[in-house]
Structure 1
Amino acid sequence: MKRIKMDRRDFLKSSAFIASTATGASLMVGANPELEAATTGTDDTNTVSRTTALAQCPYCGVGCGTVIQAENGKIVSMRPDKEHPTNYGLQCIKGLTAAEPIYVDRMEGDSYVRKDVWAEWQKPGHGDLEYVSSTKGSFDEEHFVRVSYEEASELVDHKIAHFAKKYTGNSIGLYGSGQLTMEGQYMENLFMKGVLGSNTIEANARMCMTSAVTGYSKILGSDTPPLAYEDIELSDMIIHFGHNAREAHPIIFWRAADHKKKNDIPTVVVDPRYTGTAKGYEDINPDNSVHVPILNGDISFLNALAHVLLKDHPDVIDWAFLREHVTGWEEYIETVTNEYSPEQVQDRMGGPGHDVPPELIRRVAGMFADATRKRLARAKGGQSIPGSMNAGYGGVVIMWGIGYNQSIHGQHNVISVINLLTLTGNLAKPGCGPFSMTGQPNAMGERFTGGLTGRLPFNEPLKNDEHRAHIAKQWRVPLRNLDTAMNAQNPGMAIGMMERALKGEVKAMFLVYATHVDLPDQNNLVRPALNKTFNVVQ
């Protein structure tokens, strides 16, 4: 299969029929001579079958392109893809060593089954299919037996069928991952909702991205970040909220730092810690690199920036955009004008060691205004990016990490970012916008394929009668299975699934490319719950 290249214009053209046309796959053998499958060897007894393929790094949310070389079915090399539009031949140490865990002792060879569970399975009639291992909680080798994949699959098949028949399909749970390919996410949802009729399906994407997703959806009508990585190099200013990109998303930091070095753009890091990201930017140019050591009060800080822009830089307020495309802006402007001056928010910034004085807020607002003016000047001069509106390019990109989402008011944090960008027209144009960074490369795919409670592919609600019928037809499953899933309850979603397991309502749990340790309340909820369920870890 050929490598597919697509720029902004091509993507916009193809998006009209994206629902019916597949433009790529998770693994592709390229037309490049370096990327051809080949068999080499000196003689018949020493033949090496070598395959080189393109894949996505599974670690963080960046999604770097990698070139994987396998010999006789075993990965022997991973290197960055020089032609990939995300990393351009760069790769951090996590990506370069991504294949190593595959060949850790416990991962090689046959499947692991707990010894006492396997002994029960060997009894006449397979014994008690609801038997719970007495060694749960211990992972010592002595408690496991190695069995073939086929034998382990047969055991799982029988147990899942037993639970589904006796307790309904909704007694089967699945916790998925943003590290899965789109195809894997699609299949797990088909299996759970289309085959079992279960609505007990969640993913770690729920835990990391809920605030960003609901913030985007509530304000913009879609859960998709409205910009791309190439907007980093088009921006005139980058702000990070709770985002140590240098450590968490190294390729993104390198791209932003390179852009700063070449074009001297200002950068701001809003974080209680003095992170490597803040230090890295200051090493490039300390004069236009700002660290805001805020401990709390993110919303107040953002609203104070809006206050200063309205008062001191009214020329960057996009009144036409507000009137034509935005609702509720009058109330927003009135509130930030009357209640969020830099002086009024001082008691909300955090305390000793985390001071954010009014002059610092005004400095950041001034940098924000100057960056916005550059975009406005390009628009006035007719400078635009091919395939985009004639609205110029550049302005301000605001990025944030998972910690910014995981707050009691995380959704409001996100909404406050979008509000500020909307006020100044730094939205829906190249080189600006709200950019959430996720923890895994396909978290959005989990939502897109519907791998969550109450969702179907294309992130449509399970309660949508027309879409439910359409998906049943495409999946070639009885519509009643999806009707059953729709009527099944999973209150509390990811956490509620564990609460139900603790009560004995969930009998089996699939953990697919995911671990339970990222869920809250491990000692009182999650581990006790999983001690009661039959668990399948993939």
Structure 2
Amino acid sequence: MSRVRTTCPYCGVGCGLVAEHLPEGGVRVSADADHPANLGRICVKGAALGDTLGLAGRQLYPEVDGGRVPWDAALETAARKLQETVREHGPQAVAFYASGQLLTEDYYVANKLMKGFIGAGNIDTNSRLCMASAVVGYKRAFGADVVPCSYRDLEQTDLIVLVGSNAAWTHPVLYQRIAQAKQDNPALQVVVVDPRRTATCDIADLHLRLAPGSDAGLYAGLLRAVCEQRPLAAAQFAGQEAALASAQGWSVDNVAHYCDLDRDVVTDFYRRFVTAPRAMTLYTMGINQSSTGSDKCNAIINAHLASGQIGRVGCGPFSLTGQPNAMGGREVGGLANQLACHMQFVPQDIARLGRFWGSERIAATPGLMAVELFDAIERGEVKAVWIMGTNPAVSLPDSDKVNRALAACPLVIVSEVSAGTDTGRHAHICFPALAWGEKNGTVTNSERRISRQRPFMPPPGEARADWWILAQVARGMGYGAAFGWQHPHEIFCEHAALSGFENAGRRAFDISGLADLTREQYDQLSPVQWPVNAAHPQGSERMLNEGRGWGVETRLTMVPVTPQRYREANAPGLVLNTGRYRDQWHTMTRTGTVPRLMQHSPLPRVAIHPEDARRCRVTDGQPVKLTSPCGTMTGFAQLTDDQAPGTLFAPMHWNRQFASESGVNSLVAGHCDPHSGQPESKQTAVTLSGWTPTWQGWLFSREPPALPTSISRWRLAQAGVTWLRLASDTPDCGSVQAWAAARGWQLQVAQGEGMCHLLAWQQGELQLALYVGSRCPEVDSDAVLAAFAIPPADPAARHALLAGRAAQPAAAAGRMVCSCMQVGENAIREAIEQGCDSAAALGRALRCGTHCGSCIPELRAILAQRVRVTDRSDQSAR
């Protein structure tokens, strides 16, 4: 158990990791140099996984109606209530909502129970929010949900186009592979297509800063340009004539106008693509999260089909998966509009699945997809929902409506690692699930590579595996014969056998070559790319190399695309884009608890172009409010030229455990792609306004204080101390002082016009520190936090602390840039002044950028800023 090879639980890159128990306690997590996905690389989130393994905030025992109960009672209650719901209202009144955080074995059991024995298609997943449009694009073009590429293609191509992907932050290890490939081969060209200038642009030879949502027009024009250079043979692809006709109107001039791009920039991009011997397009949420996301995916695929940039080394349309096991969930049928192992809702597949599972209750029609599922809960049509490993109360669009729906639902079951999530607040039954490091099973990454997640920590408290919980409930519902597994190895082998059952090459997904693994072979399974079968016993690196697809029409298919604006294109206001921060993950239930992961971006900042800020009378750092017809969120202004005028960007991560009103999905309407059901999270019309609270400030407290709802708060992670940023329109902050006084603490207060500083002591230990003013005071947070551990002894030091500073102030680190090596912006600027003129030089001097590399784009941006300042100074001198 001292060294265990496992797989990262974050994005879909699927990095191999090594977990090592340290002699002094704790776990060190490092990159697995032998894993083909990351080849020894690691990102800052992966490197900090050892800091997430504590039990603070864990759900450790079953609960029913808010009270702790034995496992038997919780399982019996769940099984009985689900059966009662089916008996009284029919199987369509029950739904499961799963997660790309589940292992394949967990997913398989959930899908089998819902679609095979409850008999409804109502199991969907948070992968609907990130990958559903990519699935539709692949299925329409290839006849199957098949990613044709491999990561090794990135090192063997001539052109990489990143569309709607800030890979430097969202898939950082993959981005580092691309950066290394470009360094090794300077002829490799990189094009970034994104309305924002992001960190990914650091390695770009060309950045197309197109109008939000206009990507389909860009690729329709590319299809026309390709066919002008390389006319296609007649009927080479199914749908070819209609697809080419749909692209004819997309001349360079029309594309430039539609995308709000310079004509020469469009021409340059098309020239690079058409002349590249090998080209890849990497795309993710910026394409998928759209009301026309499926068509955007097919517009990309059309250009690759027409150009022959597919099925060859270094070629292809490559959808980057957002979650560690989103593809594994797709393989087992975890989406509501598919059956297990790439089978569909057609009579022959329904009958085939019934024969394999021994069930006559196989769902005959697709179920409710994520947004429509929670709409059905709100309408009272779905009366029981089981939510597993995800936080839809935060992550789904129109999240205020989702919370109302869950609050009114007669039965909400939650299987969760973290206690007290926004979703868990609505649970009638809560099951404690295993977390990463405790789980045992498999995941599949973006390149179809199946890897093992292995346990290296014992189950804490009464936590159990998701597959076990599901199987026990299934047994309680009377389906025990089909759910009798004793180990995840048995589930995996059943899944593998099903993939090859009556297949004979008709379905792309086939891992029947793994169906007879022994327990020992399963435990030692090396990463492998599917298909794994008699034809491909060692797996398959890339697919479509024979130019044929799957299904009735084996020819590959071109899909006619009519580019359309986003749904709220004509609405007044600014266009809000939502996305991820570099060091955070989903709704922060894991990463938000790690102090060093909060240092780079500790608050939800709204990126605003300076022109829009001036027009809206907003200053940098000021609290702001965003409003849409769905709701409101608060954040802090970040003025930057990286934003295009008329657009905003806000992070998706903040939930009610970390902020009182910063959930970005409270703004986003539930507009969905009609083919994929994926919501349009990337373009929302909002109103921006500056907020000038009556007072703002900082609160540090040894225990969470009782604050009235009139005070807005944002929590920053810190072990042993509750650290809050506060703001309010109430006349004063007396409620905090009253709360401290009521606890009998000795108060030390400094008050003046528009300010109040307060320290609370008990037996010489600092219990609380409060610093507020009409503007947010500048406070040496390091000094305050240190005082909770080692209280200042002399009166002068206490007076300095009351002022919010150390008795002997140290040099400020400034904004954290390198989370791995704890290097702040001030040290970086000082090193530049002393002669460091490159990211490599800064790495040698300060070690920043030498671990995961995620901060390298930011280091280069600071260097470039220094160069611009020097140039301006030189010009002024002349």
Taking structure 1 as reference, are residues 524 and 293 closer, same or farther at Cα in structure 2, changes over 3 Å only? Answer: same
Counterpart residue number, 1:537: 414
Q: Percent of aligned positions with the same letter in both sequences?
A: 30
CA displacement, residues 123-166 of structure 1 (integer Å, 9 cap, x when unaligned): xxxxxxxxxxxxxxxxxxxxx44444444333323322332333
Counterpart residue number, 2:798: none
CA displacement, residues 441-463 of structure 1 (integer Å, 9 cap, x when unaligned): 22122222112325321121244
**Do the aligned residues in 2 keep the contact of 1:58 with 1:98 (CA within 8 Å)?**
no
What TM-score do you get using the length of structure 2 for normalisation?
0.44
Counterpart residue number, 1:266: 189
Written as runs of structure 1 = structure 2, the 5 A alignment for 1:94-109 is: 94-98=45-49, 100-107=51-58, 109=60
What TM-score do you get using the length of structure 1 for normalisation?
0.71
2:80 is aligned with 1:158 = yes
Distance 2:227 2:344 in 1: 40
Counterpart residue number, 2:364: 486
2:301 is aligned with 1:418 = yes
1:363 deviates by 1.3
Counterpart residue number, 1:212: 134
CA displacement, residues 376-429 of structure 1 (integer Å, 9 cap, x when unaligned): xxxxxxxxxxxxxxxxxxx00001111211112211111111111112110111
Written as runs of structure 1 = structure 2, the 5 A alignment for 1:105-504 is: 105-107=56-58, 109-113=60-64, 117=65, 144-264=66-186, 265-279=188-202, 281-282=203-204, 289-296=205-212, 297-311=214-228, 314=229, 317=230, 319=232, 322-323=233-234, 325-333=236-244, 336=247, 338-350=248-260, 356-372=261-277, 395-465=278-348, 467-476=349-358, 478-479=359-360, 481-482=361-362, 485-486=363-364, 490=367, 492-504=368-380
Q: Supply the AA of the counterpart residue of 1:344.
A: N
Distance 1:475 1:100 in 2: 42
**Secondary structure of 2:252's aligned partner:** coil
Of 187-196 and 92-101, deviating more is: 92-101
Q: Supply the AA of the counterpart residue of 1:396.
A: A
2:392 is aligned with 1:522 = no
1:61 deviates by 1.5
Question: Among 72, 86, 108, which residue is 2:37 paired with?
Answer: 86
- The structure whose Rg is larger is 2
CA displacement, residues 66-122 of structure 1 (integer Å, 9 cap, x when unaligned): 2234699x9733322111100011111222233544534221532344xxx2xxxxx
**Do the aligned residues in 1 keep the contact of 2:375 with 2:405 (CA within 8 Å)?**
no
Q: Supply the AA of the counterpart residue of 2:411.
A: F
Distance 2:352 2:293 in 1: 35
* C-alpha RMSD of the superposition: 2.5
**Do the aligned residues in 2 keep the contact of 1:235 with 1:397 (CA within 8 Å)?**
yes
**Do the aligned residues in 2 keep the contact of 1:202 with 1:493 (CA within 8 Å)?**
yes
Taking structure 1 as reference, are residues 474 and 52 closer, same or farther at Cα in structure 2, changes over 3 Å only? Answer: farther
2:13 is aligned with 1:62 = yes
Taking structure 1 as reference, are residues 263 and 169 closer, same or farther at Cα in structure 2, changes over 3 Å only? Answer: same
Q: Supply the AA of the counterpart residue of 2:47.
A: L
Taking structure 1 as reference, are residues 527 and 416 closer, same or farther at Cα in structure 2, changes over 3 Å only? Answer: same
Taking structure 1 as reference, are residues 496 and 300 closer, same or farther at Cα in structure 2, changes over 3 Å only? Answer: closer
Counterpart residue number, 2:616: none
Taking structure 1 as reference, are residues 110 and 99 closer, same or farther at Cα in structure 2, changes over 3 Å only? Answer: farther
Report how many aligned residue pairs link the two structures.
Answer: 411
Give ranges in structure 2 of 5+ residues lacking alignment.
416-878
Q: Supply the AA of the counterpart residue of 2:382.
A: V
Q: Supply the AA of the counterpart residue of 1:345.
A: V
Q: Supply the AA of the counterpart residue of 1:275.
A: T
1:438 deviates by 1.8
Q: Supply the AA of the counterpart residue of 1:210.
A: A
Taking structure 1 as reference, are residues 454 and 294 closer, same or farther at Cα in structure 2, changes over 3 Å only? Answer: closer
Of 87-96 and 232-241, deviating more is: 87-96
1:347 deviates by 2.4
Q: Supply the AA of the counterpart residue of 1:66.
A: L
1:303 deviates by 2.7
**Do the aligned residues in 2 keep the contact of 1:193 with 1:199 (CA within 8 Å)?**
yes
**Do the aligned residues in 2 keep the contact of 1:501 with 1:533 (CA within 8 Å)?**
no
Q: Supply the AA of the counterpart residue of 2:189.
A: P
Regions of 4+ moved over 6 Å: none
1:498 deviates by 1.5
**Secondary structure of 1:486's aligned partner:** coil
Distance 2:134 2:381 in 1: 31
Distance 2:50 2:211 in 1: 38
Q: Supply the AA of the counterpart residue of 1:329.
A: Q
**Do the aligned residues in 1 keep the contact of 2:226 with 2:303 (CA within 8 Å)?**
no
1:183 deviates by 1.0
Normalized per residue, which structure has more helix?
Answer: 1
Taking structure 1 as reference, are residues 310 and 202 closer, same or farther at Cα in structure 2, changes over 3 Å only? Answer: closer
**Secondary structure of 2:385's aligned partner:** strand
**Secondary structure of 1:165's aligned partner:** helix
Q: Supply the AA of the counterpart residue of 1:67.
A: V
1:332 deviates by 4.1
1:344 deviates by 2.4
Distance 2:309 2:240 in 1: 15
Distance 2:51 2:69 in 1: 23
Give ranges in structure 1 of 5+ residues lacking alignment.
1-49, 118-143, 283-288, 351-355, 373-394
**Do the aligned residues in 2 keep the contact of 1:304 with 1:361 (CA within 8 Å)?**
no
1:494 deviates by 1.9
Of 215-224 and 268-277, deviating more is: 215-224
Distance 1:345 1:237 in 2: 21
1:191 deviates by 1.4
**Do the aligned residues in 2 keep the contact of 1:506 with 1:533 (CA within 8 Å)?**
no
